[in-house]
Structure 1
Amino acid sequence: MSDTEQVSAKDGGIQVISRAFAVLRALDRNGSSLGALAKATGLPRSTVQRIVDSLAAENVVEIGDSGVRPGWGLQQLAQAGQSIVVQRVRPQLQTLFEATRETVDISTFHGRQVTFLDRIISDQELRVVPFNDRPRPLHAMANGKAMLSLLDDDRIAALLPEPLARLTPLTLTTLDALRKELDAVRREGFSYDREEHALGVCAIGAPINVPGLPPHAISAVMPATRFEARLPELKEALRACRVAMVGALRMP
């Protein structure tokens, strides 16, 4: 094989891997149709079909009546990667907790939902303790908005079809309203949940953007009664935590 042929084969292999990851990122945990995956990734349906068949053969995805959804092989890979992230940033999360004494967390996302990787619960008498069985839609949470701010508008539209689910009277339910807020997140570096996920609860979030890793975010969650007064110090604490976490995750 000539040098040119070797380079061409290498580039082709990289493209296949890139497309496979695009399909995996577009998966919804409850199942996605081939058409939905093609729209979300911008790939031809026939290409998506071939990728899905190959991933299914390795148990990375499962194909059933509800469509294509994550398989146990993907869950094993995700758990291994999440474990590494948690190990590296746990000290910084602990520092954030000590600076705020509020419930703090680091998260990523899967499909349209926030996935918590690690959290520390506030030790204050009046505090927020998240319920594990409550829906965690990206558009209604501070950490979710922080991660969405790292995506382009086309990806967001494919990920979050309208109408957006309303959890409280304050939840954003249109993409136009969400895009305006995400523009502000990109400018300021912080995202907010002002009783959009649960009445009486507010949060501030910040995106964690590290090349080679999926979007992550940190957030501090607290009762609405003390949120606005604490915003200046919360921003300083999250800003310092974000810088420290990015440094830790970039280490070889």
Structure 2
Amino acid sequence: EAREIVLSHISYFCKPDIVGKCKEALKKRLRAINESRAQKRKAGQVYGVPLSGSLLIKPGVYPEQRPCNEDSRRKWAEALAQPNKRLRLLSEHVPHGYRRKSLFDVLTRCNVPLLRATWFVKVTYLNQVRPTSSSISTGASDNQRSNQWTKDVVEYLQQLLDEFNLKEAHPSFKEQPSAGLISGATQVKLKHEAPSAGGDTEEPLVHFKWWYMVRLVQWHLTEELLVPSVLIEWLCYQLQV
């Protein structure tokens, strides 16, 4: 009891040795959390769907995409944006048909959380470039998927820039702000402008699409799903024009 009383006093935690111990304990705990998250992201197995490795050639490892009508695809995409909808259930009827621009449009329109969006991207590109035993040994399919995904990302980013420049040049263009797309204040504003997950969705502003893509690119660079050199080359080109 006496020790509990001592520990409850603020003055106890002001002692240099106690402060040092608390800092070290917090740093140790934070390192453990970050290492755990990094391992999951690097392995690409946050939702049990790795993007590379010999495990991919086993049947049933990743969901098969199936053809469906537009209404079913829309409802599935809205369910994907809702964290309470289990991916295990959604994986039973992954719709076919979302590719390139249509894939990005549905992710931004429904404001799909990044982890769930990443899961869908992996499933989509695994179905596009199916791994084989020979490609697994050489890593050819992994490189092909990463290259194709990076190429599609860069193409969509360019489309967003072109759309923004076109609207900026039009006298009736009223979207704001035009600078600091990923600054703190702008992020708060764009979050309010973001479409809600699920339910009826309408086309988001080009600023929100850009902000969403910036976050997705940052996440996928961390997971090593993108080819950095391709992105850097595109960014350098944008600085020159």
Larger RCO, structures 1/2 (Cα 8 Å, 6+ apart): 2
Please indicate, yes or no, whether the TM-score normalized by the shorter chain is above 0.5.
no
Give the structure with the larger strand fraction.
Answer: 1
TM-score by length of 2: 0.26
Larger radius of gyration: 2
Quick check: which one's helix share is greater? 2
